Structure 1
Amino acid sequence: MRKWVWMKSPIHLLHIGKDEYYWMKNKLLNSKAIFALVILIVIAGLFFIPTGFERGDNAFGTQAKAEVLEVDNSNVRSAGLIKHGTQVCKVKIVSGQFKNVNTSAYNELMGKLEMDKIFVPGDMALVGIDINDNKIQFVTLIDHYRINLEIFLFGAFVLLLILFAGWTGVRAILSFAFTVLMIWKILIPFFLKGYNPVILSLLVVAALTTVTILLVSGFSPKSYVAILGSLSGSLLTCMLAVIFGKSFKVHGAVLHFSESLLYSGYQNINLTDIFIAGIFIASAGALMDLAMDISAAVYEVVEKKPSITAKEAIKSGLTIGRAVLGTMTTTLLLAYSGGYIALLMVFMSLDTPVANIL
Structure 2
Amino acid sequence: MIKLKKVKWRYWIALIIAIIGLILTTCTYFATAIYSKDDVAVITDHTIKDTLVQKNRDVYNNHDETRKQILHLKILSGKYRGRTFIAPNIYYPSQMVTQKYRAGQRVFVSIRSGDPAIKNPKRDWVLVLALTVTIVLMVLVAGRESLGLVVSMALSWLLFYLVIICDVKLNGSYIILLFGLADVVFSFFSLLIVQGLNRKMLATWLATLLGVFVSFALCYLIMHVTGESEIKYETGDYATQDPRGLFLAQTLLGILGAVMDEATDIISSLYELVQTKKDLTAKQMIVSGRTMGQEIMGPLINVLVLIFMSEALPMTIIYLRDNNSLSSAFGFTLSLGVTQSVISAIGIVLTVVFATGCSLLFLEDKKWKARADK
User: Does structure 1 residue 218 correspond to structure 2 residue 196?
Assistant: yes
State the partner residue of 2:139.
162
State the partner residue of 2:186.
208
The one-letter code of the counterpart of 2:86 is S
Shift of 1:152: 1.2
Shift of 1:126: 2.3
State the partner residue of 1:127.
108
Q: TM-score by structure 2 length?
A: 0.66
State the partner residue of 2:21.
none
User: Does structure 1 residue 67 correspond to structure 2 residue 47?
Assistant: no
- Which segment drifts farther, 143-152 or 170-179? 143-152
The one-letter code of the counterpart of 1:181 is L
User: Does structure 1 residue 92 correspond to structure 2 residue 74?
Assistant: yes
Shift of 1:202: 0.8
Q: 1: distance between equivalents of 2:172 and 2:82?
A: 45
Maintained 8 Å contact 1:66/1:125: yes
Q: TM-score by structure 1 length?
A: 0.69
Residue segments in structure 2 that go unaligned for 5+ positions in a row = 1-33, 58-62, 336-374
- Which segment drifts farther, 234-243 or 327-336? 234-243
State the partner residue of 2:11.
none
Shift of 1:301: 0.7
State the partner residue of 1:333.
305
State the partner residue of 1:238.
216
Change (3 A) 1:271 1:111: farther
The one-letter code of the counterpart of 1:210 is F
Select 2:152's aligned residue among 175, 186, 190: 175
Kindly report the root-mean-square deviation, in angstroms, between the aligned alpha carbons of the 2 structures: 3.3
Shift of 1:355: 8.9
Change (3 A) 1:322 1:210: same
Change (3 A) 1:67 1:292: same
Residue segments in structure 1 that go unaligned for 5+ positions in a row = 1-56
Q: 2: distance between equivalents of 1:333 and 1:309?
A: 36
SS of the equivalent of 1:117 reads coil
SS of the equivalent of 1:115 reads coil
Shift of 1:322: 2.1
Maintained 8 Å contact 1:230/1:288: yes
What do the CA deviations read for 1:234-268 (whole angstroms, capped 9, x no partner)?
11233244334453243432212x2xx3xxxx3xx
Shift of 1:114: 1.9
Q: 1: distance between equivalents of 2:204 and 2:262?
A: 8
Select 1:151's aligned residue among 128, 132, 136: 128
Within 5 Å, give how 1:1-358 maps onto structure 2: 61-69=37-45, 71=48, 76-80=53-57, 81-82=63-64, 87-94=69-76, 98-107=80-89, 109=91, 113-120=95-102, 122-130=103-111, 137-187=114-164, 189-191=166-168, 193-246=171-224, 247-249=227-229, 250-256=231-237, 258=238, 261=239, 266=240, 269-345=241-317, 352=325, 357=330
Maintained 8 Å contact 1:187/1:200: no
SS of the equivalent of 1:340 reads helix
Shift of 1:91: 0.9
What do the CA deviations read for 1:170-208 (whole angstroms, capped 9, x no partner)?
111111112222222322551462232211111111111
Q: 1: distance between equivalents of 2:329 and 2:85?
A: 52
What do the CA deviations read for 1:296-321 (whole angstroms, capped 9, x no partner)?
11011112213323443233222212
Q: 1: distance between equivalents of 2:88 and 2:252?
A: 42
What do the CA deviations read for 1:114-167 (whole angstroms, capped 9, x no partner)?
2200224x14132232367xxxx3322122332222211210111121232123
Maintained 8 Å contact 2:75/2:84: yes
Change (3 A) 1:90 1:186: same
Q: 2: distance between equivalents of 1:180 and 1:163?
A: 23
**What count of residue pairs does the alignment treat as equivalent?**
287
Q: 1: distance between equivalents of 2:253 and 2:315?
A: 23
The structure that is strand-richer by fraction is 1
Q: 2: distance between equivalents of 1:351 and 1:58?
A: 44
Q: 1: distance between equivalents of 2:106 and 2:155?
A: 30
Maintained 8 Å contact 1:252/1:274: no
Q: 2: distance between equivalents of 1:272 and 1:286?
A: 22
The one-letter code of the counterpart of 2:178 is L
Maintained 8 Å contact 1:125/1:144: yes
The one-letter code of the counterpart of 2:297 is L
Percent of pairs identical after alignment?
18
Change (3 A) 1:254 1:327: same
The structure that is helix-richer by fraction is 2
SS of the equivalent of 1:139 reads strand
Shift of 1:285: 0.6
Shift of 1:324: 1.0
SS of the equivalent of 1:119 reads coil
Maintained 8 Å contact 1:67/1:93: no
Change (3 A) 1:281 1:65: farther
Q: 2: distance between equivalents of 1:245 and 1:223?
A: 33
